[in-house]
Amino acid sequence: MNKKEIKVQDIKAFLGEDLIGVFGDDTNVFVDNVADVEHVNETTLDWINPRRLNQQEIAENSPARVLLVTSKVSYSEAMEKLGKVLLVVKNPRLKLAKIIAEFFVEKPKALIHPSAIVDENAEIDPSVAIGAGCVIGKVKIGKGTVINPNVVLYDDVTIGNNCLIQAGTVIGTDGLGCSREADGTLVKFPHLGGVVIGNNVEIGANCQIAKGVLSDTLIDDGCKINGLCFIAHNCHLEKNVWITGDTMLCGSIHVKPNTTIYSNVIIREQSTIGERVTIGMGSVVTKNVPDGETWVGVPARKLEKQ
Amino acid sequence: MNKKEIKVQDIKAFLGEDLIGVFGDDTNVFVDNVADVEHVNETTLDWINPRRLNQQEIAENSPARVLLVTSKVSYSEAMEKLGKVLLVVKNPRLKLAKIIAEFFVEKPKALIHPSAIVDENAEIDPSVAIGAGCVIGKVKIGKGTVINPNVVLYDDVTIGNNCLIQAGTVIGTDGLGCSREADGTLVKFPHLGGVVIGNNVEIGANCQIAKGVLSDTLIDDGCKINGLCFIAHNCHLEKNVWITGDTMLCGSIHVKPNTTIYSNVIIREQSTIGERVTIGMGSVVTKNVPDGETWVGVPARKLEKQ
Amino acid sequence: MNKKEIKVQDIKAFLGEDLIGVFGDDTNVFVDNVADVEHVNETTLDWINPRRLNQQEIAENSPARVLLVTSKVSYSEAMEKLGKVLLVVKNPRLKLAKIIAEFFVEKPKALIHPSAIVDENAEIDPSVAIGAGCVIGKVKIGKGTVINPNVVLYDDVTIGNNCLIQAGTVIGTDGLGCSREADGTLVKFPHLGGVVIGNNVEIGANCQIAKGVLSDTLIDDGCKINGLCFIAHNCHLEKNVWITGDTMLCGSIHVKPNTTIYSNVIIREQSTIGERVTIGMGSVVTKNVPDGETWVGVPARKLEKQ
């Protein structure tokens, strides 16, 4: 992390209406780092977790001058003496994430690395960053999307705006659905569809996303899929689906919005997973899962609330 | 998919003896696409699934002019009036797969992409296609095989004819069998074997296939292994084994012909899996599995027929 | 394997104090290969597994002239007549592994392949080998480390001495921890930490190792991690941890020294796995595991000794 001084006034401007209140004099006050609890210093932008019972005590003891807090933390005389600044927000962790993304993360430059091999018919917005060693077929890529090194996009892949594809991921392979002939020979059904990925999607490293058989595999806006996942042919992930890694969705699975699928899960082909569902890690899902439920286990079953 | 007109007469010639019967006048009739059920139009090559109870009704209602059907579908007066053509075959889906592969899938050109790095002692048939970014050691590759981008083949890998290796896969790494010394230090047993892959084998994206310790890892003719699989040292897959993705075969596993292993399975090292076996998705296989059985679960057990 | 003649006297010198005894006249005796049991010939360096009940009989029947044995095998008259040489050691398999690594495995040359893309601020020891197609960010790499082709190292990755990274692995990606806003939108917490890998570490093909959120992901000396593993943000693997492949450690997991985790395991975030623990293949670990225990199953439970 490169240290650079961020003025508290710039953070206040960035938070805008999400800033419920400010305590302390922030004139000429800056932060220059974020840190885990063992490494907080005077110029760290610290935050107080609202789940802690003793938020006030933690805030009093933080070595940091500037803290993101909820309204449960009050501005004490001791804080005033130390010149502390409290930025009051509803969800300090979420706001910290957004502040880090805005001020502490370097945005990649729009650039197709000269070592990337790009099909001459690809339609790539000039704001896109494509890393070294990528191999890019006849695809469409929207504004602000970042493709990290050694990614392979086959033909007929469409990626929207502001997406991030981590290194080594392969998008648009054939699926491998087969029929057996009488003598056991496997005949693969060729795949003629594509993959359509929406906006603000992130996909982790070394994944495989297969194209559809005759129509497209669909990953809608806001989905976040971590590394080593395999999304097979004709799946449709609606918006804001979160998959935390090493999970396989077999073919033609429909996942409805705002669902979370934890790691190393396998879901049977042609299943429907409802809205706001949670699937526990290591689950083997063999049935449709209704909206709002939590399923876990092998085979996965509904987890009743206790 | 590029649309091009395919004459029904060419399809008839391709089907040859597999064509049981033809109804309707196919003079000057062509198809130019295949499609899923929502997108069938007049020039789609449609097919009627023999598992459906109402095949005749589905066939009557298809907007397509040309249909692959079984002999359960009869040529009605209505069909005749509409100028429809029925191509009667035993297994319409299998035949559709073969027709698509023949007429609708563009074959990659024989070419070693200039960005691929190939060992000067590799023996590669001139008909082979090697994609951008591949790194190819001292290997042998047979006629008509296609290696997609960013694949790595270590030394001592042999691949037969008409194989397809999807992007990002790595073949021929060391295994990582270790002994622990008294103080806990791990000493890896070096791997001196190779990998030998037969003809008509397909391997999905981002797999790892390890070489044998002192002899070779073997993947015989006609095996189809989908993405993110890990085939460890000294496995022997006999012909037509199908693995649908994200599965790991630990070391020295013997899989007999025509067996199907579904996704996210783990099989214990030194197991023998019989012929025509089916292993259900998510299974943890800790024992040998006899010929013809279906095993599922954690740990996997025989599924009795119901 | 290239055959070259290795003098028994050089092997004796290499074994040094680990050589308990020698029988037979080794003047001008050499070996030129190692082989599995079906392929042993006169010039194979053979070994007798101390777990076998009939070690003496196996040794008598080996076609090889030179054998690594324990002191349970005695030098018979028949052996003397055949001019055999016995090298007596405590652990023949471990010693064989070391002899192979020393005499039969070609060391890669120190070289950054011209097709690799390396950040100009990377600090790479001149003895390092970096394969074709690698993309290397602002990293530090120590003496004698080998990076195989198409590996991607993001910024802020440190790798120690004598490590081996197999092809296609990606180290230093962001993790993908998210918070959901009220409308379901996923906001990713940016990752500002790094990855620090010690000495003598091996990592298999097509893995993903994520950097820490605010501090570093740590993989200490002597760890061996096989292919397709996902080590998430802020994990800390202490020395000599062995993971045999296709396993995921969710975030902030602490694994103590000399522990073995078998294949296709998933471990819940923030767990602590003790020293000298064994986790069985396919396990789903949802709790902390105390020192010295063996856990298996879904969810994993302690395996009592029988």
Residue C280: DSSP 8-state: -
pTM: 0.94
In chain A, what residues touch C215 (CB-CB under 8 Å)? Answer: 35-36, 38-39
Is B173 close to C150, i.e. CB distance below 8 A?
Answer: no
Q: Alpha carbon of B275 to those of B255, B260, B288, B291, C254: distances in Å?
A: 7, 9, 12, 5, 42
In chain B, what residues touch A186 (CB-CB under 8 Å)? Answer: 222-224, 240, 242
Give the separation between CA A71 and CA A90, rounded to whole angstroms. 8
Best mutation target, B152, B166, B267, B295, to test chain C (most C CBs within 10 A): B152
Give the separation between CA A270 and CA C71, rounded to whole angstroms. 61
Q: Alpha carbon of C90 to those of A306, B57, B153: distances in Å?
A: 56, 77, 37
In chain A, what residues touch C167 (CB-CB under 8 Å)? Answer: none
Neighbours of chain B (3+ CB pairs under 8 A): A, C
The nearest alpha carbon in chain A to B90 belongs to A181
In chain B, what residues touch A268 (CB-CB under 8 Å)? Answer: 281
Give the separation between CA B1 and CA B181, rounded to whole angstroms. 58
Give the separation between CA C150 and CA C113, rounded to whole angstroms. 11
pLDDT at residue number B145: 98
Neighbours of chain A (3+ CB pairs under 8 A): B, C
What are the DSSP calls for A68-81, one per residue?
EE-TTS---HHHHH
Q: Alpha carbon of C280 to those of A303, B107, C113, C201, C251: distances in Å?
A: 25, 44, 39, 22, 20
Q: B79-117 burial by CB neighbour count: b if 16+ within 10 A, else e?
A: beeeebbbbbbebbbbbbbbbbeebbeeeeebebbebbb
Best mutation target, A134, A166, A214, A253, to test chain B (most B CBs within 10 A): A214
The nearest CA of chain B is from the CA of C100 a distance in Å of 7
With residue A140 as reference, give the H or E element that holds it.
Answer: strand A140-141
Paired tokens of B10 = 């060419």
Question: Greatest CA span in chain B, whole angstroms?
Answer: 85
Residues of C with active-site annotation: 233
Write the Ramachandran bin of C113: left for phi over 0, alpha for psi from -120 to 50, otherwise beta: beta
| 3-class state of residue C219 by DSSP | strand
Give the separation between CA A82 and CA A59, rounded to whole angstroms. 12
Residues 6+ apart with CB under 8 A from B51: none
pLDDT at residue number B42: 95
pLDDT at residue number A229: 98
Paired tokens of A96 = 């910290």
Comparing C203 with A4, the larger pLDDT belongs to C203
pLDDT at residue number B306: 63
**pLDDT one digit per residue (tens) for chain B, 306 residues:** 456 899 999 999 999 999 999 999 999 999 999 988 889 999 999 999 999 999 999 999 999 999 999 999 999 999 999 999 999 999 999 999 999 999 998 888 999 999 999 999 999 999 999 999 999 999 999 999 999 999 999 999 999 999 999 999 999 999 888 989 989 999 999 888 999 999 999 999 999 999 999 899 999 999 999 999 999 999 999 999 999 999 999 999 999 999 999 999 999 999 999 999 999 999 999 999 999 999 999 999 999 876
Residue entry with tokens 């009869």: B74
Is A264 close to C268, i.e. CB distance below 8 A?
Answer: no
Is B184 close to C257, i.e. CB distance below 8 A?
Answer: yes
pLDDT at residue number A306: 63
Give the separation between CA A216 and CA B108, rounded to whole angstroms. 22
Q: 3-state DSSP helix/strand/coil percent for chain A, to nearest 5? A: 10, 30, 60
In chain C, what residues touch B182 (CB-CB under 8 Å)? Answer: none
The nearest alpha carbon in chain C to A104 belongs to C192
The nearest alpha carbon in chain A to C286 belongs to A281
The nearest CA of chain A is from the CA of C247 a distance in Å of 8
**pLDDT one digit per residue (tens) for chain A, 306 residues:** 456 899 999 999 999 999 999 999 999 999 999 988 889 999 999 999 999 999 999 999 999 999 999 999 999 999 999 999 999 999 999 999 999 999 998 888 999 999 999 999 999 999 999 999 999 999 999 999 999 999 999 999 999 999 999 999 999 999 888 989 989 999 999 888 999 999 999 999 999 999 999 899 999 999 999 999 999 999 999 999 999 999 999 999 999 999 999 999 999 999 999 999 999 999 999 999 999 999 999 999 999 876
Q: Alpha carbon of A140 to those of A118, A149, A193, A201: distances in Å?
A: 11, 18, 15, 15
Which residue type, as a one-letter code, is found at position C112?
Answer: I
Is A97 close to C189, i.e. CB distance below 8 A?
Answer: yes
Pairing type for strands A30-31 and B186-188 reads unpaired
**pLDDT over threshold 60, residue C2:** no
Is A187 close to B150, i.e. CB distance below 8 A?
Answer: no
Beta carbons within 10 angstroms of residue A14's beta carbon? 15
pLDDT at residue number C38: 86
Of B1, B149, B224, the CB nearest to A178: B224
Size of interface B-C (CB pairs under 8 A): 152
Q: Terminus-to-terminus CA distance in chain C, angstroms?
A: 43
Of C150, C180, C230, the CB nearest to A228: C230
In chain A, what residues touch C210 (CB-CB under 8 Å)? Answer: 227
In chain C, what residues touch A105 (CB-CB under 8 Å)? Answer: 190, 192
The answer to whether A85 and A67 have CB atoms below 8 angstroms apart is yes
Residue C44: DSSP 8-state: B
Is C166 close to B170, i.e. CB distance below 8 A?
Answer: yes
In chain C, what residues touch B210 (CB-CB under 8 Å)? Answer: 227
Residue C100: DSSP 8-state: I
Is B91 close to A215, i.e. CB distance below 8 A?
Answer: no
Q: Alpha carbon of B153 to those of B140, C166, C300: distances in Å?
A: 10, 12, 37
Best mutation target, A247, A262, A264, to test chain C (most C CBs within 10 A): A264
Q: Alpha carbon of A94 to those of A245, B70, C67: distances in Å?
A: 21, 59, 65
Residues 6+ apart with CB under 8 A from B198: B160, B219, B220, B221, B222, B223, B239
Nearest to C171 by CA among C208, C122, C224: C208
pLDDT at residue number A2: 53
Size of interface A-B (CB pairs under 8 A): 153
Q: Alpha carbon of C133 to those of A165, A261, B118: distances in Å?
A: 18, 33, 12
Q: How many residues does chain B have?
A: 306
* Cα atoms in the Cβ-side hemisphere of radius 13 Å centred on B99: 31
Positive or negative, the Cα torsion across B165, B170, B172, B177? negative
Q: At what angle do helices C8-15 and C92-99 cross, to 10 degrees?
A: 110
| Beta-bridge partner residues of B146 | B129, B164
User: Could you give the strand order of the β-sheet that contains C157-159, starting from the edge strand earlier in sequence?
Assistant: C123-124, C139-141, C157-159, C195-197, C217-219, C236-237, C254-255, C272-273
Beta carbons within 10 angstroms of residue B225's beta carbon? 28
The nearest CA of chain A is from the CA of B22 a distance in Å of 23
The nearest CA of chain C is from the CA of B227 a distance in Å of 11
Residues 6+ apart with CB under 8 A from A297: A280, A283, A284, C298
Is C204 close to B208, i.e. CB distance below 8 A?
Answer: yes
Is A150 close to C154, i.e. CB distance below 8 A?
Answer: no
Residue A16: DSSP 8-state: G
Nearest to A288 by CA among A298, A274, A303: A274
Is B181 close to C39, i.e. CB distance below 8 A?
Answer: no
Is B188 close to C97, i.e. CB distance below 8 A?
Answer: yes
Beta carbons within 10 angstroms of residue B32's beta carbon? 17
Best mutation target, C263, C275, C277, to test chain B (most B CBs within 10 A): C263
Give the separation between CA C176 and CA A26, rounded to whole angstroms. 33
Give the separation between CA C75 and CA C24, rounded to whole angstroms. 8
The nearest CA of chain A is from the CA of C186 a distance in Å of 6
What are the DSSP calls for chain B, one per residue?
-----EEHHHHHHHHGGG--EEES--TT-EE-B---GGG--TTBEEE--TT-TTHHHHHHH-S-SEEEE-TTS---HHHHHTT-EEEE-S-HHHHHHHHIIIIISPPPPSEE-TT-EE-TT-EE-TT-EE-TT-EE-SEEE-TT-EE-TT-EE-SSEEE-SS-EE-TT-EEEE----EEE-TTS-EEEPP----EEE-SS-EE-TT-EEEPPSSS-EEE-TT-EE-TT-EE-TT-EE-TT-EE-SS-EE-TT-EE-TT-EE-TT-EE-TT-EE-TT-EE-TT-EE-S-B-TT-EEETTTTEE----
Of B135, B192, B266, the CB nearest to C263: B266
Of the candidates B113, B233, B236, B254, the residue annotated as catalytic is: B233
Give the separation between CA A17 and CA A93, rounded to whole angstroms. 17
- Provide the pLDDT confidence category of residue C62 given band limits of 50, 70 and 90: very high
For chain B, list residues whose CB is within 8 angstroms of any CB belonging to chain C: 115, 117, 133, 135, 150, 152, 154, 168, 170, 173-176, 178-181, 184-190, 192, 206-208, 210, 213-215, 228, 230, 232, 248, 250, 264, 266, 268, 284, 298-299
Give the separation between CA A229 and CA A246, rounded to whole angstroms. 5
pLDDT at residue number B4: 82
Of A38, A206, A244, the CB nearest to C170: A206
Give the separation between CA C123 and CA C171, rounded to whole angstroms. 16
* Cα atoms in the Cβ-side hemisphere of radius 13 Å centred on A221: 5
Paired tokens of A241 = 């689906």
Beta carbons within 10 angstroms of residue A160's beta carbon? 20
Active site residue B233: yes
Where helices occur in chain C by DSSP H, the ranges are: 8-15, 55-61, 77-81, 92-99
Is B240 close to A180, i.e. CB distance below 8 A?
Answer: yes
The nearest alpha carbon in chain C to B264 belongs to C264
The nearest alpha carbon in chain A to B132 belongs to A135
ipTM computed for the complex = 0.93
Best mutation target, C15, C18, C134, C166, to test chain B (most B CBs within 10 A): C166
